[in-house]
Amino acid sequence: MFDLNILLRKNIKKLAPYSSARDEFSGEARVFLDANENSLGSPLLKWYNRYPDPHQQLLKKAVSSVKNIPAEKIFLGNGSDECIDLLYRSFCNPGKDNVIICPPTYGMYEVSANINDVEIRIAPLLEDFQLNLAHIESLVDVHTKIIWLCSPNNPTGNSLNREELEMVLNNFEGIVAVDEAYINFAKQKSLLQELNDYPNLVVLQTFSKAWGLAGLRLGLAFASKEIVDILSKVKPPYNINQATQDLALKALEEVGQVNDMIKEIVDMRNALAEVFEKMAIIEKVYPSDANFILIKIKDAKKVYDYLLTKGIVVRDRSRVLLCEDCLRVTVGTEKENTDLVDALISMKNEQ
């Protein structure tokens, strides 16, 4: 049985969170002399001299209506990287607990575990980049607090099998963190609407990919109200700055424009994959549900270096488990994609 009280670190259970000036007074007032801000203003036009809303209420309300999830089940982080770190800090006792990671996958699950001194147990994906359920099950013990799953997965690009994700959710008594950073580019449906069925589910999403706002640093964790309350207690009080709150609110009014960009990126991804398929130097094009494509290519490091000489940078994943000789290529603009293909062709001709 999933029991949040057992999972939670004792020190976090007892934690009295920082109470900010904005927590202690949030009504209407004429004169704010409670937070040691600069009362004269700021060098900028906006009233950035004031601390932002620590609870991001307006922004959460807007996210709630776009995602159709109650605001009390939404946590906002300084990028999803902050959400990842906060899950460790809330649930994993350093030097005692462990988590399960399924590489090749996003690197921050491991880095954050190391920062928090949490043991990492590895259940590599199978050859087809799907979960090895038997291996995952064999690694679980009473100290296993989180299983990290990424769907669509970075760097492989594929979605994880829906039934297998649900199998993990149904059978693991700790937190199952499903990172959906690339879900907007996928055919597979998000797990967001299953939040009510799985008290152990945390869905991570981000404004950095489809929303085109990587520079603002805004990530989302959707979970039960109880889990969201814990993350909110542990986070720094003003983790989402005022500029990000203002700009993200504006962006949320432009769902149509974002959907158009998603469609364009998916079309270009499919077209680029078709071109790659026909290129002799590319040995394999992995199917992608994301805004990037993983390709297996002879002498990947050499190709990577050659592309750099042409001013094109891709991600060299050739030393990553199961990705030997692989490069990960983000879908660019039409022109950038053509430049990349032309460079690969010219490399072949120069050899």
Residues forming a β-bridge with 222: 74, 203
Write out the two tokens for 345. Answer: 């062709």
List 7, 62, 69, 80, residue binding ligand PLP (CB under 6 A): 80
Q: Is 75 helix (H, G, I), strand (E, B) or coil?
A: strand
Among 52, 60, 75, 81, contact with ligand PLP (rule: CB under 6 A): 81
194 exposure class (CB count in 10 Å sphere: 0-12, 13-18, 19+)? middle
Q: Which of 54, 79, 103, 104 binds ligand PLP (CB under 6 A)?
A: 79
Q: Rule CB under 6 A: is residue 255 a binding residue for ligand PLP?
A: no
What's the gap between Cα 3 and its chain centre? 25
Residues 6 or more apart whose CB falls under 8 angstroms from that of 264 comprise none
What lies within 8 Å, CB to CB, of 124 at 6+ separation is 102, 103, 104, 132, 135, 321, 322
Residue matched to tokens 């004429």 = 30
Task: State yes or no: residue 149 binds ligand PLP (CB under 6 A).
Answer: no
Nearer to ligand PLP, 9 or 235 (CB): 235
- Angle at which helix 80-91 crosses helix 225-234, to 10 degrees, equals 90
| Shortest CB 306 distance to ligand PLP, Å | 24
Contact status: 239 vs ligand PLP (CB under 6 A): no
| 303: Cα separation from own chain's centroid | 28
195 binds ligand PLP (CB under 6 A): no
> Looking at 123, 150, 183, 201, which residue binds ligand PLP (CB under 6 A)?
150
From the list 123, 147, 181, 285, which residue makes contact with ligand PLP (rule: CB under 6 A)? 181
Residues in the interface with ligand PLP (CB under 6 A) total 12
Residue nearest to ligand PLP (CB): 79
208 near ligand PLP (CB under 6 A): yes
Nearer to ligand PLP, 80 or 200 (CB): 80
Write out the residues near ligand PLP by the rule CB under 6 A. 79-81, 106, 150, 154, 179, 181, 206, 208, 214, 219
